[in-house]
Amino acid sequence: MSLSDSLRSVLPANQQFEYLSLQSIPIETHAVVTSDRTDKRVAKHTIKTQHFFSLFHQEKVFFSLEVYVYITLWDEMDAERLVFVSKADTNGYCDTKVSIRDISKVLLKFILSIDPNYYLQKVKPIARPYQKMSIEMIHPASTPTKTLRTLAKRLKQFGGTNLEEAALSRFLQDFYHSWTCSRKILTKICLFTRPASQYLFPDSSKNHKKHILNGDQLLKWWSSILDSLLVDCFQNGTQAKLRIPGEDPARVRLYLRGMKYPLWQVGDIFTPNEKSLAVYSIPLFPDDPKARFIHQLAEEDRLLKVNSSTFWIELQERQEFKLSVTASVMGVSGYSLVTPTFLPSSADVIVPRSKKQFKGVKKYITGEEYDTEEGAVEAFLNIRDFLILRMATNLQSLTGKRECRASSPLGSTSNNNAVEVTLLKPRKKSKTQPTTHQR
């Protein structure tokens, strides 16, 4: 099912929406978890791809979600997929009731349905070997003799085939990698919850129509989404774990009461045991408190001294956790009920040609000021104009199909009661702002 069809099913009937589904070029990166040199199983390649979704109603952005997908290749065909839910936020400028819970669930289901080989077709390597390029370049300053020698060498090299196509093929081999893995892939989902007034929409907390969840509400909100995904998308026996740093396990279990999936446990999916070194079990995600603490341990020369149990105890003492709010780590690890085979089309995702362009498009959302409705309007106009003028594409439009029904404030957002969903601590806003639409 396409992303448009999935979103239609959870958006209110007869209401018009637009959405932005942005995806970065897959890049080769460092391993998600640092490998112990004594481990027999070491990741050969790790590929990272970023997804950024935004929803618009009546020419205003009102919701965004950022997700990272990591494909770890252990060996031929042996791979692992990790979905890291990084940030989610609403700004309070939606003029109709929608279920943010169901929208988030649909977006995560969409990502889970994607064939992992989709991300492996064209991967930008960590370092491009410019000094070892297969194709000898012809420079404008080359003499006629040197040019003829180079062309003759290429003709011999490619065996008389179409020189232009062969040269392009070799060029892409040097500039991009391509791998294949089994579609039956171990899938993990990980997220970190900590309440904040805003994250993806700067100054949106100044909008009095925005309802902000506290730590307990946020934890329950996300755990209900993961619980639903476990029932709908994962095989029996899948691990499901919840950890609240510094909290007594008995109290953590209280949050697991009423879960539909019966195998929820206290803990996290990355720690093999409490005595294992934290550096070899804690994942390194972008803009994540756990990763920042690992880097601090490295600066203090304590990486090989802190085990997982001590890591979680000390983590709660960091500044990000000292405001007496509930913060948690949730994780899922298992196999999908249905083999992921979906290959997104250009209607499902927009892939900018470079990392810089990806950040530029995203900045039109995250770089605005949302203390007034004008910011939500400007974001829509700037995104729409940039896509049309610079990328020859546009926002995808759709009409909702869900009939209106009563919904709880925790799972919905409207002009009068908008739910804010934030996973990480707010960062300082960049001084660089995108060019606003001139009206």
Both tokens assigned to 79: 């791979």
Using CA atoms, how far residue 316 sits from 87, 324, 371, in Å, is: 20, 10, 32
- Positive or negative, the CA dihedral 195, 197, 201, 202 is negative
Provide the 3-class DSSP secondary structure of residue 421: coil
Strand partners, 192: 329
Q: Where are the beta strands (DSSP E) in 74-171?
A: 79-90
Question: For residues 76 and 42, is the Cβ–Cβ distance under 8 A?
Answer: no
CA pair distance 142, 137, nearest whole angstrom = 10
**Can you state the percent helix, strand and coil of the chain, rounding each to 5?**
35, 20, 45
Give the residue from 167, 171, 212 showing the smallest Cα distance to 194.
212
Instruction: Count CB atoms within 10 A of the CB of residue 253.
Output: 13
Question: For residues 93 and 376, is the Cβ–Cβ distance under 8 A?
Answer: yes
Question: For residues 307 and 274, is the Cβ–Cβ distance under 8 A?
Answer: yes
Catalytic residue list: 288
Provide the 3-class DSSP secondary structure of residue 211: strand
Chain centre distance of CA 200: 13
**DSSP for 34-77, written as a single string:** PPPTT-S---SEEEEEEEEEEEEESS-EEEEEEEEEEEEE-SSB
CA pair distance 277, 305, nearest whole angstrom = 7
Residue entry with tokens 């965004």? 64
Q: In b/e form, how buried is each residue of 277-295, taking b as 16+ CB within 10 angstroms?
A: bbbbbbbbbeebbbeebbe
CA pair distance 74, 15, nearest whole angstrom = 46
